[in-house]
Amino acid sequence: MRTAAFVALIAGAAGSIGLLLHARQHPPPLLVFLFVIWVLSPFVVLGIAHLVSKRRSPGTQATLCFVSVFIAIASLLVYGDDTLNHRTTHPAFVYVAVPPVSWLLIILLTSMAAIRSRKTQNQ
């Protein structure tokens, strides 16, 4: 399951950057570079979490794998929708909004799994 989650992370990150570069409105290169870092940030955080999660409980690891796959698929769906149905009023909105929402989901779901794991270990 860890391998599938890691592959999903790589595919999600590559697809998200591809969709970002396809959707751009010819902004300055520095802005494109900053957006690339911004869009990649949830995938980098999840990749690092996978590397250090070997010491965590199996429940926490499973939740991390689920979150990784979910974030990859959801990001691709949202960015793909933006590419197909381009918004003219706020063209960069999804690329600004998706990473913080992803971080929030990562923090909430993995924290809940870690707390639940600790409670079952203490009983």
Rg (CA), the chain: 16
State the pLDDT at residue 58.
84
For 2, other C-beta atoms within 10 Å of its C-beta total 14
State the pLDDT at residue 69.
96
The CA-atom distances, in angstroms, between 11 and each of 6, 32, 98 are 9, 20, 16
State the pLDDT at residue 91.
73
Task: Give domain limits for the chain.
Answer: 2-122
Paired tokens of 18: 């591809």
Could you list the mean pLDDT of each consecutive 10-residue stretch along the chain, which spans 123 residues? Answer: 90 94 79 93 94 83 93 95 79 89 94 84 69
Q: Which amino acid is at 69?
A: V
State the pLDDT at residue 117.
80
Q: How far is Cα 71 from Cα 8, in angstroms, rounded to an integer?
A: 9
